[in-house]
Amino acid sequence: MAEQDFAIVERVFRRCVKTSAKVERLWTGARWTEGPAWFEALQSLVFSDIPNDRLLRFDATTGQAGVLRQGQERFTNGNTVDRQGRLVSCEHGTRQVTRTEPDGTITVLASRFEAKRLNSPNDVVVKSDGTIWFTDPSYGIDSDYEGLKADGELGGDYVFRLDPRDGTLRVVADDFVRPNGLAFSPDERTLYVADSGATAIDEGPHHLRAFDVRDDGSLGGGGVIAICEAGVYDGFRLDTEGRIWTSAADGVHCLAPDGTLLGKVLVPERVANLCFAGHRRNWLLVTATSSLYGVRLAVNGAKTY
């Protein structure tokens, strides 16, 4: 059952949204938007337009977007904000994870694993202990469309954990076809990771997996909890109740912590990623193909990054 901009699958979803709310297109003009990261102090969203090799900034106080960084063959994809308020980015072009410092300089956090270049870091989250977790599928080296075509050196598409205190980079999962979006549960005891491998191989995975996060930073479990019924899951974030708000081809799907589909926010373009914004974290900002969309929800985003 659809009510305007929402599809209610389970009754509980009626308490997650105001069905009178509208999905608003806030800005358009990109080729493929990704990597939304909200800076509350600036009332601004930083996001990527990967094929145009640019980072954009949407200023919520004016409703205008402008170019933050462009044309350096970085082809930035996923972005997040670390616990010190700094921008952390995945770059296809440089095949690095970087941090933008308050003075504007760019620090390389990870570029190689055991002397081999990363593929093309895709999406990133920062745990409350400061460790940086990211996925490294080959999308950015498969062609020159959203990166620079090159051969992979690692022999696989992995999920990594970086400890920036000593620079230690570890593979925490190596059994993905194309690891993509990732996010922690509010208590950080579960790490969810999407596999969008269906984009690369016939009958490939288009699902979400849930891993147990051990105290030593390794992962256990990893079972599939949800299979995407519309395209693939790409980026996602969680609300304070542990529900997963994830990108899909027809909008944003809201899943229960066990993966049950609760409902959808219908978006007119294919969604790549999203984040919770605003002081109450109840404004869902969605990067969808050429545009940025926003919708006010009746839930609040978890304070995980």
- In this chain, which stretch among 36-44, 232-240, 241-249, 274-282 interacts with Mg ion, using CB under 5 A? 232-240
The tally of CA atoms less than 13 A away on the side-chain side of residue 235 is 31
Binding to Mg ion by CB under 5 A, coded x per residue (else -) over 96-135, reads --------------------------xx------------
Taking the complex as a whole, the smallest distance from the CB of residue 157 to Mg ion amounts, in Å, to: 12
The answer to whether the CB of 181 falls within 8 A of the CB of 123 is yes
Binding to Mg ion by CB under 5 A, coded x per residue (else -) over 134-173, reads ----------------------------------------
Residue with tokens 């105290």: 215
Please name the residues in contact with 119: beta carbons below 8 A apart, sequence gap of 6 or more.
95, 136, 137, 138, 140, 141, 152, 153, 154, 157
> Which of positions 18-37 make contact with Mg ion (CB under 5 A)?
none
- In this chain, which stretch among 156-164, 228-236, 244-252, 256-264 interacts with Mg ion, using CB under 5 A? 228-236
7 or 56: CB nearest Mg ion: 56
Output DSSP code: residue 136.
Answer: E
Taking the complex as a whole, the smallest distance from the CB of residue 35 to Mg ion amounts, in Å, to: 8
Indicate whether 180 belongs to the interface with Mg ion (CB under 5 A). yes
Taking the complex as a whole, the smallest distance from the CB of residue 137 to Mg ion amounts, in Å, to: 8
| Single residue of 53, 91, 142, 234 touching Mg ion by CB under 5 A | 234
CA distance linking residue 163 with residue 155, whole number of Å = 23
Q: Is 278 exposed, middle or buried (0-12, 13-18, 19+ CB in 10 A)?
A: middle
Which amino acid would we find at residue 125?
A: V
- In this chain, which stretch among 4-12, 165-173, 206-214, 229-237 interacts with Mg ion, using CB under 5 A? 229-237
282 or 289: CB nearest Mg ion: 289
- In this chain, which stretch among 101-109, 164-172, 235-243, 247-255 interacts with Mg ion, using CB under 5 A? 235-243
Q: Rounded to 5 degrees, what are φ and ψ at 213? A: -95, 115
96 or 180: CB nearest Mg ion: 180
End-to-end distance of the chain based on CA atoms, in angstroms?
32
SS3 string, 83-100, reads: CCCCEEEEECCCCEEEEE
Which two structure tokens, joined as six digits, stand for 264?
A: 């959808």
204 or 298: CB nearest Mg ion: 204
Site size for Mg ion, by CB under 5 A?
A: 5
Q: Rounded to 5 degrees, what are φ and ψ at 51? A: -65, -25
98 or 122: CB nearest Mg ion: 122
User: Rule CB under 5 A: which residues touch Mg ion?
Assistant: 122-123, 180, 234-235
